[in-house]
Amino acid sequence: MKKHIQHLYRRIGFGILPSELDKLSENSRKEIVSGLFKASSVMSPLEVDASEIKAAFSEMMGKKLDSQTRMKVQKISRQKQIELNVAWIDRLSTSKEILREKLTLFWANHFVCEDNNILYIQKFNNTLRKHALGNFKDFVNAISKEAAMTKYLNTKQNRKQKPNENFARELMELFTLGEGHYTEADIKESAKAFTGYSHNLRGEFVFRKRAHDYGDKTFFGKTGNFNGEDIIDIILENKQCAKFICGKLYRYFVNENGNDKHINELVDVFYKDYDIENVMRHMLMADWFYDENNVGNKIKSPIEFLVGMKTLVPTDFKKPRQLMYIQRLLGQTLLDPPNVAGWKGGRSWIDSNTIVLRLRLPSLLLNGAYISKTKEGQIDTQMEMKKELFKKRYGKRFTTETNWAYFTQQFKSVKIDELAPHILACGVSPEAKSYLNALEKVSKQEYCIQLMSLPEYQMC
Cα–Cα–Cα angle for 219, 221, 222, rounded to 5 degrees:
70
pLDDT at residue number 389: 58
Alpha carbons 400 and 353: distance in angstroms, whole number: 22
- Asked whether the beta carbons of 295 and 438 are under 8 A apart, the reply is no
Spell out a b/e string for 157-178, using b for 16 or more CB atoms within 10 Å of the CB, else e.
bbbeeebbbbbbbbbbbbbbbb
Consecutive H or E run containing 198: strand 197-199
pLDDT at residue number 420: 95
Q: Which amino acid appears at position 391 of this protein?
A: K
3 state SS of 204: coil
pLDDT at residue number 128: 98
Query: DSSP secondary-structure letter at 63?
Result: S
pLDDT at residue number 379: 44
| E strand map for 372-413 | 400-402
Q: The pTM is what?
A: 0.94
- Asked whether the beta carbons of 106 and 144 are under 8 A apart, the reply is no
pLDDT at residue number 393: 62
Query: What's the start-to-end Cα distance of the chain, in Å?
Result: 17
198 DSSP β-pair partners? 206
pLDDT at residue number 57: 79
Cα–Cα–Cα angle for 309, 310, 314, rounded to 5 degrees:
130
pLDDT at residue number 396: 57
| E strand map for 154-232 | 197-199, 205-207, 217-219, 222-224
CB atoms within 10 A of CB 63: 9
Q: Which amino acid appears at position 292 of this protein?
A: E
Closest by CA position to 446, among listed 349, 373, 381: 373
Alpha carbons 38 and 184: distance in angstroms, whole number: 43
- Asked whether the beta carbons of 313 and 402 are under 8 A apart, the reply is yes
* Under-70 pLDDT residues of the chain: 60-65, 369-397
